[in-house]
């Protein structure tokens, strides 16, 4: 596979106004947001919607580009990797998470309280951007 690898992820806002955080084994105990690799021929938005359905069983609406980031061999990640992180904000129609095997734990939290979780650095930037913008009201 060519490097860097393009990925998509989103900070999803549920009907309660809380945001979804997940903990996976890939981030050595750190919390993040659902997402994953863009497949060949897939648009960024289609990849985002697919990854959310696969990882947490949720449909998203109104995805909005949030920020672009880059991860190069972060020691918090379970293996050496170089990712281009294309991050979004989005609305989730439901807060009924149906996790796949990648998700070890999840929580819907008030956006301001999300910073109290041990987040990976990229998710921390995304949460801070959400708090600064409050894109959904």
Higher-scoring residue by pLDDT: 42, 137:
42
Distance CA(137)–CA(128), nearest Å, equals: 16
pLDDT over 80 at 135, yes or no: yes
Specify the pLDDT at position 137: 74
Q: What is the mean pLDDT of residues 30-52?
A: 98
Distance CA(109)–CA(113), nearest Å, equals: 6
The CA–CA distances, whole Å, from 18 to 3, 30, 88, 94, 104 equal 34, 19, 16, 11, 19
Specify the pLDDT at position 62: 97
Kindly report the average pLDDT of the chain as a whole number: 96
Residues contacting residue 126 through CB under 8 Å, at least 6 positions apart: 9, 11, 33, 66, 67, 87
Q: Which domains does the chain have, with CATH numbers?
A: 5-133 (3.90.79.10)
Bridge-based pairing of strands 103-109 and 31-32 is unpaired
Specify the pLDDT at position 3: 85
pTM: 0.95
């Amino acid at each position: 596979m060519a490097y860097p690898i393009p990925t998509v992820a989103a900070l999803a806002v549920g009907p309660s106004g809380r945001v979804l955080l997940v903990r996976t084994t890939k981030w050595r105990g750190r919390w993040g947001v659902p997402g994953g690799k863009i497949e060949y021929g897939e648009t960024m938005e289609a990849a985002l919607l697919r990854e959310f359905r696969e990882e947490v069983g949720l449909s998203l609406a109104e995805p909005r580009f949030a920020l672009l980031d880059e991860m190069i061999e972060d020691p918090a990640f379970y293996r050496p990797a170089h990712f281009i992180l294309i991050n979004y904000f989005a609305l989730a129609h439901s807060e009924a998470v149906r996790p796949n095997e990648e998700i070890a734990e999840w929580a819907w939290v008030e956006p301001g309280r999300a910073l109290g979780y041990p987040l990976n650095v990229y998710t921390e930037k995304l949460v801070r951007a959400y708090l600064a913008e409050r894109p959904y009201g």
